[in-house]
Structure 1
Amino acid sequence: MKCASSTPNAMPLENRQLSLFEPEAAAPPAPPSPASPRSTAPTGTPLAVSPPPSLPPRARWREVQTEHQPIGFVLRRSRRKSIGLVVNDDGLQVTAPNWVTLAQIDAAVQEKARWILEKLRWRHERQQQLAMVDTHWKDGTHVPYFGQRIELALGHPGSAHSFTGQRFAPKEGDRLLLALPRDADHQRVRDSVHAWLQAVATEWFQQRLDHFLAANDLAIKRWRLSSASTRWGSCNSDGNIMLNWRLIHFDHDVIDYVIVHEIAHLREMNHSKDFWREVGRILPGFESARDALRRHDPASLPLI
């Protein structure tokens, strides 16, 4: 989820980012016209306002009062030319040019308060759903992995987890042997499985990125795993790519599609006909993988 908000003297955004299945920028609702009634606050009880456990380097926590309720956010300064508002898994993140005053930043947040609160409420509801999923992290649970269902087996001694099948080509019924006691807390099981899946994702995504980049004479600045609950991948105009680690639940075709989707943005920073033509040139027959992925939400996985 992303919104770019400009102060009166701000220039257009200099670093664009495109995410899978989303327009170039997730625009907030348009302000009401003079003849329209005043907008009402988003429904539901007020959201809690509290800083995260830790802040990124050179960031600060700030709170501003709006017509609906107080809104807290992590503020960073940068060389960008406009104020950027992003609601992600960590809450509201505001990035502002060094020359913009705190009053102008507060005004931007107040102007977009309704949109921000709608996104924060959606985030909160999604986190509640994920908390319900946590209760299933136990011995015998099945987790989707490269399009197959593998079983979690607790109680195996050793210093590391092991997999009974082929690491990148599992078969139905393969088991992930966890070096955890059978009665391990669900959060400990979840964190251990997530760490293992993320390690596999890092290896496999790197291999596929290298393959497609070399085959198309392209290069990126860097890439990293993402745990976003709203997008499967993204690419910005600086050549930075993010890939959601939860793609590891899907088969190889779907993973390849997301990687190619982001690589295609290196030549077409849009979702025009030329962009889709580029995707089809790199990965013929991508449509079935795209359609399969559209039926899923990143925050709904793993499917247990």
Structure 2
Amino acid sequence: MPSLSRLLSSSTKSPSIQRETVRVRLDDGRDVEVLRVRDPRARRIRLSVSERGARLTLPLRASLVSGEAFLREHRDWLAAQLAEHGEAQPLRRETTTHLPLRGGSSPVLWTLGRYTCLRQCDDGRLQFTTPAQAGPAALRRGLREFYEAQARADIARWMPAYLAGLPRTPSRVRLKVMSSQWGSLAPDGTLTLDLALVLGAPSAFEYVLVHELCHLIHADHSRAFWREVEARCPDWRDARDYFRDHGRRLKGDLHALLTG
């Protein structure tokens, strides 16, 4: 006979989250993929757009019909949000002709070689060398390594000018793909920056670096903290506006390029 604890544990187990992809046709004729998620924690139907794409969240009791109706009713809003994020495209040897870098769009020259390597030429073009048999994963790995090298070069060029007056230096600098933040500073002094920063305007990237370095002085966002930021980056408000206008697109572009 099953024990009481086993009976209770099986009866109270939470339903798992269910995911599937559906398509919706926008007014301009485009078919857009939407991730439909049935989440036991959800209390209402919700449509959202992030750098990962469109997502329709359904509570357990919501029917698929009501979810489809909600999606159709909000097609205009969905189209506007997708336009704000930009038409992010995956990395493909056959179709990728330009890559975002430092606030611009650099032409890509594809060449065959023994190993995968991406470098910037003197004329600003990007030369992407790959073996003929290189698959999507190898291309994405080469692109990520290139972006990380470019970002570290920018950080190394900027950081020395800001170290004077800091109580300590960062213990290390990490670059990673961040979903919402642009940077963070851990208690141990590890400075983490979003890799998408190298896709945008250098002045905005430099501001995020300054912002996180100032947290070595003040861990909060007090007036004293912002005075330190202002002293080092007087145009920080312009950078903040830049992220408000272009931040979603930068994150969306990086996600599409590195996940395919």
Quote the offset at 1:161 in angstroms.
3.2
Corresponding residue of 1:265: 215
Work out which of the two has the higher radius of gyration on C-alpha atoms and give 1 or 2: 2
Q: 1:66 and 1:268, CA in 2 relative to 1: closer, same or farther beyond 3 A?
A: farther
For residues 11 and 176 of structure 2, what CA distance do their matches in structure 1 show? 31
For residues 299 and 68 of structure 1, what CA distance do their matches in structure 2 show? 33
Structure 2 contact 51–253 (Cα < 8 Å) conserved? no
Corresponding residue of 2:6: none
Note if 1:206 corresponds to 2:156.
yes
Structure 2 contact 89–253 (Cα < 8 Å) conserved? no
Structure with the higher fraction of residues in helix conformation: 2
CA deviation digits over 1:152-209, x for unaligned, max 9?
22124365433213xxxxx7xx221111157854443233212111122123223323
Corresponding residue of 2:237: 287
Corresponding residue of 1:163: 120
The one of 101, 107, 112 equivalent to 1:151 is 107
For residues 283 and 66 of structure 1, what CA distance do their matches in structure 2 show? 54
Corresponding residue of 1:243: 193
Note if 1:300 corresponds to 2:252.
yes
The one of 120, 134, 138 equivalent to 2:93 is 138
Q: 1:229 and 1:271, CA in 2 relative to 1: closer, same or farther beyond 3 A?
A: same
Quote the offset at 1:217 in angstroms.
5.8
Q: Given residue 145 of structure 1, which amino acid in structure 2 is its aligned partner? A: L
Normalised by the length of structure 2, the TM-score is 0.59
CA deviation digits over 1:18-39, x for unaligned, max 9?
xxxxxxxxxxxxxxxxxxxxxx
Flag structure 1 segments of 5+ consecutive residues without an equivalent.
Answer: 1-63, 72-112, 166-170
CA deviation digits over 1:203-226, x for unaligned, max 9?
322332333113646422222112
Structure 2 contact 119–146 (Cα < 8 Å) conserved? no
Q: Given residue 187 of structure 2, which amino acid in structure 1 is its aligned partner? A: S
Q: 1:246 and 1:187, CA in 2 relative to 1: closer, same or farther beyond 3 A?
A: same
For residues 285 and 136 of structure 1, what CA distance do their matches in structure 2 show? 34
Corresponding residue of 1:69: 15
Q: Given residue 150 of structure 2, which amino acid in structure 1 is its aligned partner? A: V
Q: Given residue 200 of structure 2, which amino acid in structure 1 is its aligned partner? A: F
Corresponding residue of 1:230: 180
Count of equivalent residues? 188
1:178 counterpart SS class: strand
For residues 215 and 158 of structure 1, what CA distance do their matches in structure 2 show? 48
Q: 1:66 and 1:136, CA in 2 relative to 1: closer, same or farther beyond 3 A?
A: farther
Normalised by the length of structure 1, the TM-score is 0.51
Structure 1 contact 154–182 (Cα < 8 Å) conserved? no
Flag structure 2 segments of 5+ consecutive residues without an equivalent.
Answer: 1-9, 18-39, 55-84
For residues 11 and 131 of structure 2, what CA distance do their matches in structure 1 show? 48
Structure 1 contact 151–175 (Cα < 8 Å) conserved? yes
Q: Given residue 180 of structure 1, which amino acid in structure 2 is its aligned partner? A: T
Q: Given residue 251 of structure 2, which amino acid in structure 1 is its aligned partner? A: A
Q: 1:241 and 1:158, CA in 2 relative to 1: closer, same or farther beyond 3 A?
A: same
2:163 counterpart SS class: helix
